[in-house]
Structure 1
Amino acid sequence: MTVTAATQRSRRTPWGVVLLRSLVVLGLAVAVVLATAVAFAPAPAVEATAVPIAAEPEAEAASVEWPDSRSAGYGVVGVDGSARTAGSTDAHPMASVTKLVTVLVVLDRHPIASDSRGADIVLDSADVDALGAAIADNAPIAPVYDGMVVSQRDLVEWALVDSAANAAWSLARWGFGSIDGFLTAADDFAARHGLTQTDLADPSGLDAASVSSAADLVQIGLMAVDDPVILGTLQLESVRIPGIGIAPNTNRILGEGDVDGGKTGTLRVWGRNLFATAVRTVDGEQRRVVAIVMGTITADGIDAQMLALVESLWDDFGERVSLPEGTVVAEYRAPWGDTVEATTTADIAVDSFGDIVPSASAEVRSVEVDAPRGEVGEAWAVVGEERIAVPVRTGGMLPGPDVQWRLANAVEVLGWYGLW
């Protein structure tokens, strides 16, 4: 048969067949590319899922020898939630313990550096009148005169160590311009610190309307010993007062039973109050407590009750294992079903007190697929100001997905390229 142009045209493959064949080839190529992409897509890092940390078993409450008084309380420095009270929960006359609040309020507005005597204060006739009023009330006094120059710290020491009523009055008036200004500041101070049962009617506590509760006075005591000026003053065995000489600290148990500071208060219509702070080294750690006893009759009685209360607290300090080694704090759950746990690498033991339960937490980062076992964060426990942390490690390698899972979840896998 003769081949001509006409016969050649009749033997050409139809364009539809060509197109179909091209599409099939293209589809196969795309399928190969997609399959390759799915098979080798880099798996993303897996985020952690927090595992709730089991609550610790309840510990025994502190074994406290509560005094036979109208009200009492204690707190441990640096341990939040440690404050406890017994007896009446009402507000009662503070007597001269009021002076501790007065000093806190004044130093809140006019702080003194620990190595300074503070501002110089020129006393006037109003301060002399306050001296006469204190004498009339048969209260402890510091002799003053019109034009006398004293330091801010002089007045603090005379008020807290000798319990001089007129010194507290002069300090309060100087700090705020007037006694009314001071009382307004005292109300604001109480509100800011949540002292809902504390109300001052005067700076010295001679007025029975200057009241507080044992719960509030524990918090006041904790704030007081946190101020080095106040704590250092409460620890003074005596103070020199012009016109009197050496005046001993009114706290008769200073230096006994680990008591290294405090403030007394006596009011005929109420009785005796005693604030004390004590410090002891327990298991190699220095611990400080504060305590208040309110409403007893005799000086010997309140002293003995305070010493017994403080002594009963020391054996309630101890170490608690908050998170044992190997505690699971997080899991890494991959979408393809594999899981690896993150656990603590050592015991987390913190110093605690009584039934105070440390708060435990953990923070971990994501892990890469096929990464070797390693540290991924830390876990910690906190009691008050103490924070103990240990590393957290994964228990093994988190394997990547197999090809079967990748192909079955191809749309999700392709999304790992950031396509959607």
Structure 2
Amino acid sequence: MPTVQFSRIPPAAQPPPPVAPPSPAGRKRRPLPWILTGLLALLLLGGLLYAVAPLRNPPPAPTAELTLPASMTIPGKAPKLPWPRTGQAMISIDGLGTMGTAGDTKPQPIASVTKMMTAYVILTAHPLGVGEHGPELTVSQAAADAFHGEQARGESLVAVQAGEKITERQALQALLLPSANNIARILATWDAGSIEAFVEKMNNTAKELGMTGTRYTDPSGLDPQTVSTVRDQVILAGKAMALPAFAEISKQKQATIPVAGTVTNYNELLGKDGVVGIKTGSTDEAGGCFVFAAVYTVGGRKVTVVGAVFGAPGNNTPVQLDNVFASTRSLLRATKASLAVHTLVKAGQQVATVHGPLDTGTTLHAAQDVQVVGWPGLEVKLDAQLGGVPARLAAGAEHGRLTVNLGDDAPVETALRAGAALEPPSTWDRIRHHG
């Protein structure tokens, strides 16, 4: 049987697996483009935020700084006044201050100058207008009976009688012009019920006014234990003369009152050397005393001089008063000669410096002269109202004022004007300076 032989047939050849191409030598993968873009955006945003940071808030407001001193002294040699050789003396200019003093500062008897406080207490408790008479007082039997004893002691008096009616104004005229001691007691009792209660009011008033060297023991000044100083009485004189009725009465040369008739003011200087008041006094213990006020016109401005001279020598009232009047007259004439108009600040003079943000700024200058009445050596205080300075100020624009306050008189002042224009810093300057 034929043999069938089978031969092995090799399997069909399989295709080789694909081979990846080799990577180029040293080549790295690149970051995705969006990462670079994001980083760049962040950098730009940070720079923008940094640049605009100073623009988020407005720049600080400008500030002004005074370049003049807070006070100025009038140049020149201080005047030498002819002070009396004895006693105490003082000259003060209303609104300006003390021109000078002489003598010690110890409290001393002031005689009938005391009646200035008596009148002041009465007028503050019972005010009168100019020309008004006010309420009536009735002279008691006791006051009338005391007259002869007071007269025997040589007191300064006016005649009175029981039941007499006298107005407040007439009583003050009798008190201040012929310096009637009995009227001082009548007024004190009328006001406070007793002399002791009235004296307490006098001392309380002195304390309120800062009259630290003063002690009253009676309303007339006859008691030498009533003492004061020229300083204290000048303080009181300024307050008293501010009362229209007091100022009106104290400058009268004569007045007519019931029973006594026409009375004359002891102040012989009234109407002379500018004198408009105030009160004389004289006793053996006090000597001649005089508190005075005078008004002058200096450079078209009214100036009130208030002063006092205590302790003028003399053996009796006429001599004492003659001596105190002579001293006062010399002092007033020298005072008037020393007063003049002085220019403290000239128009165009720099008064303040304005500091703005980022080194911006300008200056402020006086628009007019600042002139005051005074004397060489007087220190005058300046008051600058600079206020809030705006961010923008044109050259020559008005801002602020410079003022000199002179007591009760109208202040002396001038407007202030800018020098160069003040402009706020630009946006670019604010960004540039931020870095």
Q: Same fold (TM over 0.5)?
A: yes
CA distance in 2, matches of 1:231, 1:209: 27
3-state SS of paired residue (1:256): coil
3-state SS of paired residue (2:205): helix
Q: For residue 154 of structure 1, report the CA deviation from its aligned partner.
A: 1.4
3-state SS of paired residue (1:82): strand
Q: Does 1:62 align with 2:85?
A: no
| 2:412 alignment partner, one of 388, 399, 408 | 388
Q: For residue 88 of structure 1, report the CA deviation from its aligned partner.
A: 2.7
Q: Does 1:358 align with 2:386?
A: no
| 1:305 alignment partner, one of 321, 327, 352 | 327
The residue number in structure 2 matching 1:76 is: 93
CA distance in 2, matches of 1:256, 1:368: 55
Deviations 1:222-258 (A, max 9, x none): 2222222112111111122333321221223333333
User: Which one has the largest radius of gyration?
Assistant: 2
8 A Cα contact 1:369 1:397, kept in partner: no
- The one-letter amino acid paired with 1:77 is D
The residue number in structure 1 matching 2:131 is: 115
The residue number in structure 1 matching 2:402 is: 379
Q: Does 1:192 align with 2:208?
A: yes
- Residues 283 and 344 from structure 1, CA distance in 2 versus in 1: closer, same or farther, beyond 3 angstroms? closer
8 A Cα contact 1:94 1:205, kept in partner: yes
Q: Does 1:89 align with 2:89?
A: no
Equivalenced residue count is 398
Unaligned runs of 5+ in 1: 1-13, 412-420
- Residues 130 and 329 from structure 1, CA distance in 2 versus in 1: closer, same or farther, beyond 3 angstroms? farther
| 2:355 alignment partner, one of 308, 333, 357 | 333
The residue number in structure 1 matching 2:26 is: none
The residue number in structure 1 matching 2:346 is: 324
- The alignment's TM-score, normalised by the length of structure 1, stands at 0.84
- The one-letter amino acid paired with 1:285 is R
CA distance in 1, matches of 2:255, 2:427: 85
The residue number in structure 2 matching 1:290 is: 306
> Identity of counterpart residues, as a percentage?
27
Q: For residue 85 of structure 1, report the CA deviation from its aligned partner.
A: 2.0
CA distance in 1, matches of 2:364, 2:32: 61
- The alignment's TM-score, normalised by the length of structure 2, stands at 0.82
CA distance in 1, matches of 2:55, 2:307: 70
The residue number in structure 1 matching 2:9 is: none
The residue number in structure 2 matching 1:153 is: 169
- The one-letter amino acid paired with 2:150 is A
Deviates more, 1:371-380 or 1:22-31: 22-31
Deviations 1:159-186 (A, max 9, x none): 1111111101111121112111111111
What is the correspondence of 1:401-416 to structure 2 with a 5 Å cutoff? 401=425, 405-410=429-434
CA distance in 1, matches of 2:250, 2:421: 60
Q: Runs (4+) of structure 1 moved beyond 6 Å?
A: none
CA distance in 2, matches of 1:83, 1:221: 16
3-state SS of paired residue (1:279): strand
Q: For residue 129 of structure 1, report the CA deviation from its aligned partner.
A: 4.7
Unaligned runs of 5+ in 2: 1-29
- Residues 227 and 83 from structure 1, CA distance in 2 versus in 1: closer, same or farther, beyond 3 angstroms? farther
The residue number in structure 1 matching 2:217 is: 201
